[in-house]
Chains A and B, each alone.
Chain A
Amino acid sequence: MNRLTYTGIFVVIVLLIVAVFAPFIATHDPTAQNLALRFAPPSLEHWFGTDSLGRDVFSRVIYGARISLQVGVIVTLISSFIGVIIGSIAGYYGGWIDKILAGYIFNVFLAFPGLLLAIALVAFLGAGLWKVVFALCVIGWVGYARVIRGQVLKVREMDFVQAARALGASDFRILFVHILPNSIQPIIVQASLGMAGAVLSEASLSFLGLGVPPPAPSWGTMIEEARGLDTLYNAPHVLFFPGIAIALTVLAFNFIGDGIREYLDPKQRKR
């Protein structure tokens, strides 16, 4: 693992601490308005300044980490769980089960532009944190399923699996006790890249007004509010800080994903 990976891990640890201890780190109530103090520049009292409603941008960015990571972690956990189950069943049983799952269902989900499907789902279901989570899981699971299917296809032909079968182990036991633990590594890479994707998708949906409804301080919502010309003229810093927060988070998870991939695949390391 290289320096960038460690930088990524460092940033993610900081983000986690910020998200967990947000009430202690934030200097103000993230939703408290103060119309007398609109568009204040960064100062000792308001480190990142204030927005068009006089809310403290620093506290909103801090609380925004909570929403981003919450959505990211939940979506990654659920969609990797579903993806691993479906993908391993496709890979292990093969035959017509694999034809239907990998040949048809995976292809349908891969053929659809992911964000558009999420937008459509949220548009019909209505906005809200859990609906966003649902929509992102619907588009997210197939990435994991595809990766794990490939792994299971490889591992199921190995000698120790044949040995387990010869000993009379059940399909369930062979798949979940013998094959899966030996196929799970690439899922870690996928999960790290998936975290970046989920954080980005949540911010995109919130930016479009289809995510976590205001006044909750999602970074996407903050950028949507900051891009009004009124704010851009008077207080560009309101746009700057949530933008940096999103970019840093996405970069950090991508660095970690790339780093782990290199670590797991020594062939890539030399390049």
Chain B
Amino acid sequence: MRGRLKYKLLNLLNRFGLILLIAWTVVSLVTLLIEVIPGKPSTAILGENATLEQIEQFERKHGLNKPAFFVTFSDDGIKWNGFDNRYASYFSGILRGDLGVSFRTDRPVLDMILERYPNTLKLALAAMLIAVLIAIPLGVLAGTHKGSWIDNVASFFALLGISLPSFVTGPFLVYIFAVKLRWFAPTGSSNPEDIVLPAITLGSALSAILTRMVRSSVIEELGEDYVRTARAKGLSETVVIYKHVLKNGLIPVVTVLGLQLGVLLAGAIITEKIFGWQGLGTLLLDDGIAKRDYRLVQGCVLVISMTYILVNTLTDMIYSLLDPRIRLS
């Protein structure tokens, strides 16, 4: 028993260490990305005609006048710059919850991100809900009618959902539901019903993956002994399937759901762009990249990727707690 606990603790420590290492790499990468911009950020923001004073003031405000890293390599050899450098200050800023100040708006980047974060989360969760609502009935139908035309139609839709990227599905949905039927507005995120089209777009690929999983899960479980027992004691087919088969068949589906939440959060970038949904993706693309607000881009990339990493790790841990079979292997 004690050996088991020790092993568990070691495993946890190992995993925690790896996350720290990954987080450090991601932060370093994001920090150093700003150094590869062709030309100077000050020229990109202030334009070619900025005076020397303006440039100097801008660089001092954003700490761009400091050396980039601890050491500088030049023809004269290696020079030690001390701890007052851009890499160290961005890093210590993050530890204090400070992602710097936007190059364009002079607002703290963290505030801008926190403003948009709930919208992206809402979109990802709505997409997941829609995916589940489509996938479970469709997967059960396909699984219980294996080989019939219902199964073929469901499989066809699943294939379509997987192979159509969101930037194709999205505009098609806009065309059908906003332009032709006029049920929804083509873009926006102010009215409650605005979430429907983006959520379907973002969730369609996931619903396709889930439909396939539920189908094969149902087919597998239907061959088990307990199903025969349930049927033998006279339970109706509906009860057998929804109370017994699904309960067991949904275990793998739940894991995939957790892992897919990260994928949805990252995939929301494109969907938000299609529908002008005011989340992290549009913040990154429209306010960050399009306006060359590199400080904002750094912050967005950092927050999106750290969320992705954390969600995936948490899912992994919860799953290994719930299912002892995974823990041992």
Contact = CB atoms under 8 A, between A and B. Distances in A.
A113 interface: yes
Given A113-B266, A208-B270, A247-B163, A223 B168 contact: yes
- Among A112, A120, A210, max chain B CB count under 10 A is at A120
- Size class of the A contact interface (CB-based, 8 Å): 35 or more
Nearest to B26: A112
Chain B interface helix/strand/loop/mixed: helix
Interface string A192-224: 000000001001100111100000000010011
B174 A204 contact: no
Interface in B170-197: 170-172, 174-175, 179, 186
Contact of B305 (A112, A220, A229, A251): A112
A200 B162 CA distance: 12
Contacts of B274: 227
Contact of B167 (A103, A123, A223, A236): A223
- Among B37, B160, B163, B289, max chain A CB count under 10 A is at B163
- Among A112, A124, A243, max chain B CB count under 10 A is at A124
B21 A233 contact: no
A124 B305 contact: no
Nearest to A207: B167
Given A111-B22, A124-B294, A239 B289 contact: no
B25 A113 contact: no
A112 B38 CA distance: 24
Given A223-B171, A247-B163, A113 B284 contact: no
B165 A204 contact: yes
A120 B297 contact: yes
B171 A115 contact: no
Contacts of B174: 227, 232
B309 A236 contact: no
A73 to B, nearest CB: 19
Given A207-B270, A223-B171, A227-B171, A200 B22 contact: no
A113 B310 CA distance: 12
A120 B163 contact: no
Nearest to B25: A108
B36 A113 contact: no
A125 interface: yes
A123 B297 contact: yes
Interface in A116-169: 116-117, 119-121, 123-126
Interface string B106-126: 000000000000000000000
B308 A233 contact: no
Nearest to A250: B163
A120 B30 contact: yes
A124 B297 contact: yes
B36 A125 contact: yes
A247 B269 CA distance: 20
Contacts of A126: 38
* A-B CB proximity, top 5 nearest: A113-B266, A227-B171, A243-B168, A251-B163, A123-B289
23 contacts: A104-B18, A108-B21, A111-B305, A112-B26, A115-B266, A115-B267, A121-B33, A123-B297, A124-B37, A124-B297, A204-B165, A204-B270, A208-B285, A227-B167, A227-B171, A229-B179, A229-B186, A236-B179, A239-B171, A243-B172, A247-B163, A247-B165, A250-B165
